[in-house]
Chains A and B, each alone.
Chain A
Amino acid sequence: MPSSSSSPLPPTSAGPARRAARTLLVLAVTAGLAAAVPAAGSAASAPTTPQPSATTGVAAKPYMGWSSWSMQSSKYPGLNPDGDYSYLTEANVLKQTDALAAKLKDYGYTYVNIDAGWWRKNDWTPEYDQYGRQAADPLRFPHGMKAVADHIHAKGLKAGIYLPVGLEKEAYGGGSVPIWNAPGCTTADIVYPDLRTTNGWDSSYKLDFDNPCAQKYIDSQAQLLAGWGYDFLKLDGVGPGSFKSGDNYDNVPDVAAWQRAIAATGRPMHLELSWSLDIGHAADWKQYSNGWRIDTDVECYCNTLVTWENSVNDRWNDAPAWSDKAGPGGWNDLDSLDVGNGQMDGLSNAERQSYMTLWAINKSPLFTGDDLTSLDSYGLSLLTNQEVIGVDQSDSPVARPVTSVGDQQVWGTRNSDGSYTVALFNLSGAPASVTADWADFGFTGNAAVRDLWNKQNLGSYRNGITEALPAHGSRLFTVKPRTALATTGYEAESAANTLSGNASVAGCDACSGGQKVGNLYLGGKLTFNGVQAPKDGIYTVQISYVSGDPRSATVSSNGGNGTGVNFPSTGDWNTVHAISVQLALKAGPNTITVDSGNWYAPDIDKIAVPQTL
């Protein structure tokens, strides 16, 4: 019997690159070629055995800091007076370093990350050393990159830097550029003879790691950065991801090479991957790196740093798939946290709070792209809320939505002390009330609620909490339950149920009972029969499901119209998660139906129905 992982999938819209401005990186390329240096000797030492990051201490928790890209990418008046991306200069980096040290360091923000362009002139012409390695643009960084790192370190902070994946085309130098510390290796040896291109902009030649010279090139870059004293590298344009797929864009070997190269330097260095990494390779990213951007750039490339629609709010849809992928050593990176100055950010206060709430509960790195010299008081209060930072840095699992992911959402996770982190979101453009029912989390009765943003104990709430949220607003609570909710489970595969359309039972290792009901598409329907309720009322029914992509269904009881439920992805077709719906049930037996309607529903493992109301 086919499992749903082989179910016909709806066509995915091959989204065109949102970041048109990113292509400027390619367009600006000119033939800036370093002088060819004769090859010297042959490659190469044996690959270094990589060490898991978790044991090196790197990325034990999501990193925190500042990145230059948001301001570089913005058309905000005055930020980039010398052309696009020209904000990136030594003076600006040092200014932000000082501000970070003064305002945010005490709260855990330690990384100062230099993004793209440090080796490019203001017209984006790249510069390389004689070994084809990126070289600091003397106008931007007159004292070189080491001096910047030294200043950052002197402030007690860590220094981050940036490279695109692959051999940049302009560094190829006709193939004759020697590789540093790799006698006999030239740029011709490290790429494919057909000069196939790679990365999100096709701005590099793909490296051929069958030739040991390629590793040596990565080693040479890593040694350079380590020698300058950098503690962090953002490797950009990495595929599968960065809006690319296919063999030419498979940069897993690059990332692995980078991990080996970093290890070989002896300097702990955080390796962060960008952008929109393919979740299908999550295990690779986790094996070889310390973080991965799950989504496209948060920046709007407009007159502010970001906008709500472009593209902060995408994360609510995209993050759930990754919830199980993060952990010590490697984290889901939701991109810059630009909440520090409402005017420059281009966001309302409510949006800024929601932005940081989502980042924190997803345990995303917290790096701001704001002008730290002009944080407004509200922005500073957000960035320095230690209770919210604590959620991000805690050892709790990444939060997930616990109800349908519509305009109003409830997310949460269980903390190690038995409390729950509960976030309410209103993604609509008008105020709305949002309710977290304690049953969504498996408890009931009275529970003490603390409001983390307002740093206030709200008291005890029975069975749930409802709050009015402004447009795009949020709340973040810690809830301490007292009473577990007893439920009765009903397996989807039970013979008592009614399957219609193409719905069918399939094996499922992760599912209770080892089976699920799948093929719920285009009218496929699963009806649980004989669902018992103790008395008439409205119940919180938890649905355990498997879905490698976001899907939807109409869930109803006793032939009602039901409710449209948007199920977030569980990350793959072998992972079970649950969300809850509210349904009226009568005393005695009831039916509960999951109907795919005219689209595709997830595979259903089971439902759980409270034994009390």
Chain B
Amino acid sequence: MDIQHTDPTEHPTSRRRFLALAAAAGTTAALGGLNAFTASAAPLRPTQSPMLSAADAAKNQLWWQAPGSSTSMIGQGLPVGNGRLGALASNDPGTEFLTVTDAGLWTGGLNDTLQDDGQFPYGRDDFGSLTLLAELTVAVPGHDLGRANNYRRVLDLAQGLVSASYDIGGVTYQRQIFASRPDDAIVLHFSQQGGGTYTGTVSLAGTHGESTAAGDAARCVSFGGTLGNGLKYGAAVTAYSGSGKVAVDGTTLSFTGCKDLTVVLSGGTDYAPDAAAGFRNPSVDPRALAISKVLAAAGHSYDTLLHTHVADFRPVFGQLDINLGTSSAAQRGLDTWERVQARYRDNVPDPELEAAYLQFGRYLMISGSRGTLPMGLQSVWLDGNDPDWMGDYHTDINIQMNYWMADRAGLSDCFDSFADYCLAQLPSWTDVTQRLFNSLTNRYRNSSGKIAGWTVAISTNPYGGGGWWWHPAGNAWLCHNLFDHYEYTQDRAYLEKVYPLIKGAVEFWEARLITTTVTDASGASREVLIADSDWSPEQGPLDAKGITYAQEQVWNLFGHFHTATEVLGRDAAYRATIDGLRDRLYLPVVSPTTGWLEEWMSPDNLGETTHRHLSPLFGLFPGDRIRPDDSTPKDILDGATALLTARGMNSFGWANAWRALCWARLKDGDKAYQLIGTNLQPSVNGSNGSAMNLFDIYQTEPGRGIFQIDANFGTPSAIVEMLVYSRPGHVELLPALPAAWAASGSVSGVGVRGGFTADFTWKNGKVVQATLTSVRGGTTTLVAGAATRKVSLKPGESVTLRNLA
């Protein structure tokens, strides 16, 4: 064994270096943290260019040879976002069109009047919906696409830039669009080479019936409004140029003969993540704030705004690098959409595209999850005010899947939006649960009559409200994500922060569990604890006791509680109580009828064989109770494998991603890879797969596809899970490497439970070299092929292992 210790300050991809780079770039914004729409100190500007060389940037770029349609923004718009404010851009030469969303622009409210059936209303007025903030149009009438040659647009994942270029009449025109976190604005820049100019208009339109008017300073136009729920919002846009004329012209901005043009948009709401304040910040006047932000930004050159943004974005993106192998010259010659189509058509692996798909997911997370609110079903990318399922937070797989990727893929800080959201909602969730859950009309009420802690509905909003049906085990699943983040980061202060969520969920289940008597296969009977009436998401009997989904969740929750109390040195007596309950929990058995791990406490298949949800396989993934090693009884492992097999290989988006993650846990890399490929198949006319812009599309009926962002994060999670499996004290490299990636590859910055990151390379399916870096110091055992190495590191220390074959 060849172990080489590295001084922590020298390690190239550590979080420490990221911090250093961000500091050098001069950004003052805290990593993660709150990013509500509030006045902020002027960003410090980088003193040197943070821009990548063209060759380096090209390594993480997607590109297309046609713009998007203003009527097909979901599948064709390119996303930008600053963690709160998001936009889709069409990039049409003659009409640059952006749909702009603020993560907090929600209708609805607490929604605490249950329906007659004891469940929650689920409408756009009561529960609410995420909606658009604005539509921005930059019209350049002389630049009709029909006249443009050599059109190309690029999504630069590493630098957070959308760009487009085209030629008209011997002039090359270029534009760049980004969403800046430091300047809290969306910036568009139009430039040219060859003596061209831009003449046209900038129009800003609200989507809730507002009137746009010239702004106070007569240098911008803006609008403001108040939703029916009292939420105030506003947006403003300004434009400036070093040449030509820019003027406010009624309700639009006109520009004439400009060799370059910069357009700055900002906007937001008075949403505040504070239940006590009714989720409002009364000190914010969103319209005025938007005006002040765009005017402040417009005081700087475009290059300054660009460099400030890239200095903020690039270090975050750079925390993970991945190479799954080399694609062919023919594949490299195709644009991203052609490549997606060719990959499906020819069934030939395209490892660079597959790696780019992962990086696209990371790009989305950096763009969508650095504010006070987490990413819902579509994050901050909408094309209208009626997103399917309200664009909400679904707690029975979707929001959890969104955040599986964060720690795995070097975006640990992006997890904060999720944790902060849960914390901000906790008072309301607790209040609503304790007031309403035991309503006699609620079929899922606790038959014991006891109530404690909190839980959620299947859907949640940002106002403490639930929608659709009660989801008793939703609390445990949210807590699984919350605790998982601790397992990766070993951040005790963070655990302290989220402990009330975990404890509240435990208390809920302590009150809810009921006893029953079961007879084991041996004929012995015993008393066990089971969950009260519940629905295994989203199929089968509506009222089933002891569903596997709930049993696994609670077993997992109680285990995490045990660890948390030990780490934090709290609630020792209560820990003992809960440990006792956990010992009595019923755990699922294998059906003698189907051979599957039971989903319900029944040998019969009471649902759809190929149902999208893998709820009874929670213990396989994302839980870790069922492992393909000696720790798990063979019949349970076989039953889980048989159930996963029965669920099939041909579902859609997130359901395929979940299957891939499960197969990765079972160390079947080729099956996992097949499912990744299924999600990469081109979505045509709304069919399941990837749209032109790589957004994942779920076909609900022929011709109608819906964007659900979860697969854009779940599929990358599966890619990582195929490369690294970890639990505290144990990390295994290449557990499920598919043949398609076996030839050679590398990854750096992968999160490892127990507080490590891993960088490693492989060749011919074998790890060549691996470096583990510890953030907080600790010990783990690294497994690579037949090799096992125990590693102990001090905080910030790295170790490089070779000769692992």
Residues of A within 8 A of B (CB): 349-350, 353, 429-433, 435, 451, 453-454, 456, 458, 466-471, 473, 536-538, 556-563, 582-584, 613
Asked if B66 and A556 sit within 8 Å, CB to CB, the answer is no
- The reply to whether B345 and A468 contact each other, CB–CB distance below 8 Å, is no
B353 CB to closest chain A CB, in angstroms?
A: 13
- Complex Cα–Cα for A456 and B334 (A): 26
Stretch from B124-132, B143-151, B298-306, B357-365 forming part of the interface with A:
B143-151
Contact of B330 among A349, A430, A538 (CB under 8 A): A538
In the assembled complex, the Cα of A538 lies from the Cα of B339 at a distance in Å of 11
Interface contact A431-B145, CB-CB below 8 Å: yes
Chain A residues, CB < 8 A from B630? none
* B421 is an interface residue with CB less than 8 A from chain A: no
> Is A431 a contact partner of B92 (Cβ separation < 8 A)?
yes
| Inter-subunit contact A469/B76 (CB<8 Å) | no
- The answer to whether B346 touches A432, judged by C-beta atoms less than 8 angstroms apart, is no
B344 within 8 A of A: yes
- With beta carbons under 8 angstroms apart, the residue of A429, A466, A561, A613 that contacts B345 is A561
Question: Which residue of chain A lies nearest to B73 when distances are taken between CB atoms in the complex?
Answer: A430
A28, B738: Cα distance in complex, Å: 74
- Alpha-carbon separation in the docked complex, A33 to B800 (Å): 105
Some 6 contacts from A to B, beta carbons below 8 A apart, are: A468-B148, A537-B328, A538-B330, A560-B348, A562-B345, A582-B345
In the complex formed, the residue of A with least CB distance to B341 is: A563
Which of B65, B334, B337 lies at the interface centre, i.e. has the most chain A CB atoms within 10 A of its CB?
Answer: B65
B72 CB within 8 Å of chain A: yes
Tell whether, in the assembled complex, residue B342 and residue A458 are in contact, meaning their CB atoms are under 8 Å apart.
Answer: no
- Are A537 and B151 in contact, with the CB atoms below 8 A? no
State the Cβ distance, A108 to closest chain B Cβ, in Å: 24
Q: List residues of chain B with CB within 8 A of the CB of A582.
A: 342, 345
Bound-complex Cα distance A343 to B67 (A):
25
Give, as a whole number of angstroms, the nearest-CB distance from A357 to chain B: 11
Q: Other than the known A433-B66, A584-B345, what 14 A-B pairs have Cβ atoms closer than 8 Å?
A: A430-B76, A433-B151, A433-B335, A469-B146, A470-B144, A537-B329, A538-B342, A556-B345, A560-B346, A560-B348, A561-B346, A561-B681, A563-B341, A584-B348
Q: How many A-B residue pairs have CB under 8 A?
A: 92
Contact partner of B346 among A429, A451, A583, CB < 8 A?
Answer: A583
Residues of B within 8 A of A584 (CB): 330, 342, 345-346, 348
Is residue B256 contacting chain A, with contact meaning CB distance below 8 A?
no
What distance in Å separates the Cβ of A583 from its nearest Cβ neighbour in chain B? 7
Q: Name the interface residues of B35-71: CB closer than 8 Å to any CB of A.
A: 64-69, 71
Q: Are A560 and B345 in contact (CB under 8 A)?
A: yes
B-side contacts of A470, CB under 8 Å: 92, 144-146
Residues of the B chain whose Cβ atoms lie less than 8 Å from the Cβ of A453: 146
User: Which residues on B sit within 8 Å (CB–CB) of A556?
Assistant: 345
Q: Tell me, rounded to whole Å, the shortest Cβ–Cβ distance linking A449 to chain B.
A: 9
A444 CB, nearest partner CB in chain B, Å: 15
CA–CA, A435 to B338, complex, Å?
A: 10
**Chain B contacts to A: CB under 8 angstroms:** 64-69, 71-72, 76, 92, 144-151, 166, 169, 328-331, 334-335, 337, 341-342, 344-348, 681
Taking the closest CB of chain A, its distance from the CB of B692, in whole angstroms, is 9
Residue among A353, A433, A537, A562 making CB contact with B65, cutoff 8 Å: A433
Q: Knowing A350-B146, A538-B330, say if A431 contacts B66 (CB, 8 Å).
A: yes
A432 to B341, CA, bound (A): 14
Which chain A residues lie closer than 8 Å to B334 at the CB level? 538
Chain B residue nearest in CB terms to A538: B330
Complex interface: chain A residues within 8 A of B331 (CB): 538
User: Which B residues touch A561, using CB under 8 A?
Assistant: 344-347, 681
Does the CB pair A431–B67 fall under 8 Å?
yes
CB-based nearest B residue for A539: B330
| B contact residues around A558 at 8 Å (CB) | 346-347
B69 & A471 in contact (Cβ 8 Å cutoff): yes
- In this complex, which of A350, A454, A467, A536 has the most chain B Cβ atoms within 10 angstroms of its Cβ? A467
The 5 closest A-B pairs by CB, nearest first: A430-B69, A584-B346, A468-B151, A433-B65, A560-B347
Residues in B with CB closer than 8 Å to A353 are 146
**How far, in angstroms, from A456 to B171 measured CA to CA in the complex?**
13
Distance A456 CA – B170 CA, assembled complex (angstroms): 10
Do B64 and A536 touch across chains, with their CB atoms under 8 A apart? no
Q: Would A431 and B69 count as touching, CB distance under 8 A?
A: yes
Q: In the complex, A613 Cα to B328 Cα: how many Å? A: 13
Q: Could you tell me the distance between the alpha carbons of A433 and B346 in the complex, rounded to whole angstroms?
A: 20
A468 adjacent to B342 (CB under 8 Å): no
- Is A458 within 8 A of B346, CB to CB? no
Q: Is the Cβ of A583 less than 8 Å from the Cβ of B345?
A: yes
Taking CB as reference atom, which chain B residue is nearest A475? B146
Contacts of B348 in A (CB 8 A): 560, 584
Q: Which residues of A contact B65 (CB under 8 A)?
A: 433, 435, 466-468
Assembly CA distance A432 to B145 (angstroms): 11
Given contacts A430-B69, A536-B328, contact A467 B149 (CB under 8 A): yes
Question: Which residues on A sit within 8 Å (CB–CB) of B150?
Answer: 467
Q: Given A559-B347, A583-B345, verify A537-B166 contact (CB < 8 Å).
A: no
Q: Could you tell me the distance between the alpha carbons of A512 and B681 in the complex, rounded to whole angstroms?
A: 37
Select from chain A the residue with minimum beta-carbon distance to B149: A458
A548 → chain B, closest Cβ, in Å?
28
